[in-house]
Structure 1
Amino acid sequence: MMVGDRSDRVTVASNTAGAFAPALGSGGLRVLVLSQHFWPESFRINEVVVSLRAFVNVEVLAGQPNYPMGHTFKGYRATGIGTERHPLGYMIHRVPVVPRGRGGTLRRVANYVSFVLSALLFAPWLTRGRRYDVIFVYANSPVLQGLPAAFLKRLKRAALVIWVQDLWPDSLEATGYVRNKAALAAVATVIGFIYRRADLLLAQSRGLVEKLRELAGSRVPIVYHPNPGDIAMMERCTAGTSAIAMEPSCFNVVFAGNLGAAQALETIVACAETIVDPSIRIILVGAGSRATWLREEIARRNLRNLELAGQHPPEAMPAIFANASALLVTLGRANNLPLTIPSKIPSYLAAGRPIIGSLDGEGADLIRGAKVGFSVPAEDAAALASAIIEMRNLPAAKREAMGAAGRAYFEQHLAPAALAHDLVQHFHKALGRSGQGGT
């Protein structure tokens, strides 16, 4: 997410953090959301918090924003400690983090570990005098952020709910950041320790449930809770002026999101090299650790049908999606990646555009089962090229029917407000199990 000067921020001195009333919500539960990455970074948890505020009182504990560009956002400091008020009125407690930099392994480890240590050290001070019923962890990478959450659970006498997005240590191995078997085993031990401290684990896909059981044991309940789609996509995905120029006479396939190791970007490059139809364009919207590699490959192979469009703010995405001919999602096939559902899929469904997938597992099953597009095996560039060409040759009415089916699936299964209501019910169950009660 691109940001300018955060002139709309209201930064609050840490020694006054306890003076604020909780964020307005119609429910009585007090929830502290713990997520290393949060607004103004662009992550699904941002909108989950917006939806939750209709039901409960919410505050957030996060790091200093630096994703995906790798440097701390303007208006923030990597070493900053304090509390700010989000424009919607709720409190965000910030702790220091080492910025990701260019995304190398050592820098990434420093980024993860610094948040864990900073949260352990400074969160009790930032939240002193404040009571919470539930500590809710948005557990994408790094899942290690569950360590300070487990500590805060005991300190605040709250229930702990962890919403697992990435399967650690498997995702570390799959993306190539950690290959040493002893190190992976050590990470698995720590993750198991974290999960066993939870009162409830939520899995973003059904396929994760049994894998989580292997790490968490039989004591901790595990429940499927999917990622919702974007609120903005649901409300504003209508064709208008797009921030990206799309030639009306072309078939514009848009990929949006992280450009990282898990996305099997080699498949997209090889696919683009295979397609000779000049009217087909593949547009990559986003940023990530492999953006430089992509740029170099596009130049080296002289690919005129593959474009890096850069990072765009969330408010620009509905128009970009609405003007796309089809939306593309790719994922590698290493280890347990097929057990996850890429978080872009709910947003694609909300956009009401046909989807082309190159992935295995639950994401592929959803695309096929809901009849919202085509899905081919992960990392099969030739099959992906064929699927794009086949989608291009379909009558426009059939593509529109796929998009409409996606929107209908979203509204029935992935609407943010309904999932926020379900999440609150999960909180109450966790409270009952923890014995902390609630007020």
Structure 2
Amino acid sequence: MNILIITQYFYPENFKSNDLAFELKNRGHNVTVLTGIPNYPEGKIFDGYGFFKNKKQVINGVRVIRSLLLPRGKGGGLRLFTNYYSFAFFASIKAFFLGINNRFDAIIVHEPSPITQYYPALLMNKLWKIPVYFWVMDLWPESLSIAGGIKNKFILNYYSKVIKNFYKNAEKLLVTSKGFRSAINEKGDFDDKIVYFPNWAEDSISDGNKDFPIPKMPDGFKVMFAGNIGEAQDLENIMKAAVQLKANKNIKFILVGDGRKMPFVKNFIEEHKLTDTVSVMGRFPVEAMSSFFDKADIMLVTLKDDPIFNLTVPAKLQAYMSASKPVIAMLNGEGAQNVIDAECGFVVAAGDYSSLAKTILTASELSYEQLQKLGSNSRKYYEMNFKMSACISNLESIISKEN
């Protein structure tokens, strides 16, 4: 098949769109990616790229067309708005000429925020009737309100109408969480379009190099949080749990990653004198994660207590499971149920930092064999439910049936 993937984020940025494109190409499909100039997450254009540099590439056999956009900078509201809409505008122009010069069988829109990535696909769908498969990884306008802090009813109502139109024009809605079904159906009768299409972990995590050079880990029972350090991840309550465990010098919190809440985390560590028990590693490439995970005793996944997050399965959970690691989850909903069903760790309610602290203490007293058993259960559950090869095979089946 001749497949176009539209996404604001693509290699060398680290997103699932990379796996999607390269795996479909490996399976014999002709794959084109319409994307932006790489600048996530630092907000600066990556070395080797620019407004007039590397606008067209072939990466692992995938044709990559890069659209102009304004870099996201430090991520303030106005800067993000211009980042999102500049991509939507310029990518729509690129999409018009791509549609004239190519015959695509299907368009896949890869949608972590923002939903504005759908506009180029909508144009091509209207002009050439190309079916669009909308991979919904984030619910709008809910996440705009909760994670983005937008409370203006006019803005939220506007995006409710926008997303409803996108859902209406999509051939299928691929959802990363089964809980998304109810939220999407609240906006209209889209039930027959919804298909469960979960996240997976990169092979570099599940089967990667455990000898990748990383900073020396502190001694003790290592509780590792890896990934985006943002508003949704409830760093406030992770830090409160660290305060409660401050006297236990054997328990060490390891934070790998970066994000909007990192200044808060660093200030909290200094203010509460947690430097002996909380270590901030910073951001590393995905290739380093296997090495980091190997040094951890247990992995931590958290989300704030909010209805939208209760519907969400954090992508890091699949990564933890793929690496055969036991898990402590401070969240509600489907993500928590995954940990329970897998019998791979511990679950406490979202926001319950006291229970998190007690549970970490309990976990630290488990034997090596007990932790290994939980990790083995993680991997088994991942193999049965989140293996990339099975996910992509399912996607091929979905698209081929409609074409």
Q: Which TM class, normalised by the smaller chain length?
A: over 0.9
Q: Structure 1: state its 5+ residue gaps.
A: 1-28, 432-439
Q: CA deviation at 1:423?
A: 0.6
**Distance of 1:373 and 1:241 partners within structure 2:** 26
User: What do you get for the CA RMSD once the two structures are aligned?
Assistant: 1.7
Q: Which amino acid in 2 is paired with 1:325?
A: D
Deviations 1:99-155 (A, max 9, x none): 111111111111111111111123323565122101001111001211211112234
- 1:47–1:231: 8 Å Cα contact kept in structure 2? no
Worse-matched range after superposition: 214-223 or 149-158 = 214-223
Deviations 1:317-367 (A, max 9, x none): 111111111111111122311101001111110000111111110000001
SS of residue in 2 equivalent to 1:215: coil
Cα distance change of structure 1 residues 297 and 219 upon mapping to structure 2, 3 Å threshold = closer
Matched, 1:150 2:157: no
| 1:306 alignment partner in structure 2 | 278
SS of residue in 2 equivalent to 1:302: coil
| 1:287 alignment partner in structure 2 | 258
| 1:375 alignment partner in structure 2 | 347
**Distance of 1:407 and 1:158 partners within structure 2:** 38
Deviations 1:135-188 (A, max 9, x none): 001111001211211112234432110010011111111114311122111111
| 1:346 alignment partner in structure 2 | 318
Deviations 1:40-73 (A, max 9, x none): 1111221222222233221111111111111111
Q: CA deviation at 1:310?
A: 0.8
- 2:303–2:350: 8 Å Cα contact kept in structure 1? yes
Given the alignment, which residue of 400, 421, 426 partners 2:398?
426
| 1:130 alignment partner in structure 2 | 102
| 1:166 alignment partner in structure 2 | 138
Q: Structure 2: state its 5+ residue gaps.
A: none
**Distance of 1:261 and 1:218 partners within structure 2:** 30
Cα distance change of structure 1 residues 312 and 81 upon mapping to structure 2, 3 Å threshold = closer
**Distance of 2:189 and 2:215 partners within structure 1:** 48
- 2:95–2:123: 8 Å Cα contact kept in structure 1? no
Q: Which amino acid in 1 is paired with 2:262?
A: A
**Distance of 2:20 and 2:240 partners within structure 1:** 36
Given the alignment, which residue of 233, 255, 258 partners 2:225?
255
Q: Which has the higher contact order (CA 8 A, sep 6+)?
A: 1
Given the alignment, which residue of 30, 37, 44 partners 1:64?
37
**Distance of 1:32 and 1:156 partners within structure 2:** 13
Matched, 1:326 2:298: yes
Worse-matched range after superposition: 377-386 or 218-227 = 218-227
Worse-matched range after superposition: 133-142 or 421-430 = 421-430
- 1:78–1:99: 8 Å Cα contact kept in structure 2? no
Matched, 1:271 2:244: no
State the number of aligned residues: 400
**Distance of 2:306 and 2:146 partners within structure 1:** 5
Q: Which amino acid in 2 is paired with 1:157?
A: K
SS of residue in 2 equivalent to 1:386: helix
- 1:37–1:63: 8 Å Cα contact kept in structure 2? yes
Q: Which amino acid in 1 is paired with 2:352?
A: D
**Distance of 1:81 and 1:106 partners within structure 2:** 27
- Residue correspondence of structure 1 range 38-187 to structure 2 within 5 A: 38-55=10-27, 56-77=29-50, 82-86=55-59, 88-125=60-97, 128-187=100-159
| 1:409 alignment partner in structure 2 | 381
Cα distance change of structure 1 residues 426 and 268 upon mapping to structure 2, 3 Å threshold = same
| 2:180 alignment partner in structure 1 | 208
**Distance of 1:40 and 1:210 partners within structure 2:** 34
Q: CA deviation at 1:241?
A: 5.3
SS of residue in 2 equivalent to 1:263: coil
Cα distance change of structure 1 residues 282 and 52 upon mapping to structure 2, 3 Å threshold = same
Cα distance change of structure 1 residues 335 and 219 upon mapping to structure 2, 3 Å threshold = closer
**Distance of 2:294 and 2:54 partners within structure 1:** 40
Deviations 1:267-292 (A, max 9, x none): 11111111121111111111212222
- 1:352–1:405: 8 Å Cα contact kept in structure 2? yes
SS of residue in 2 equivalent to 1:112: helix
Under a length normalisation based on structure 1, what TM-score does the superposition of the two structures give? Answer: 0.87
**Distance of 2:351 and 2:125 partners within structure 1:** 41
Q: Which amino acid in 1 is paired with 2:226?
A: A
Worse-matched range after superposition: 69-78 or 48-57 = 48-57
- 1:242–1:320: 8 Å Cα contact kept in structure 2? no
SS of residue in 2 equivalent to 1:307: strand
Cα distance change of structure 1 residues 311 and 134 upon mapping to structure 2, 3 Å threshold = same
- 1:196–1:217: 8 Å Cα contact kept in structure 2? no
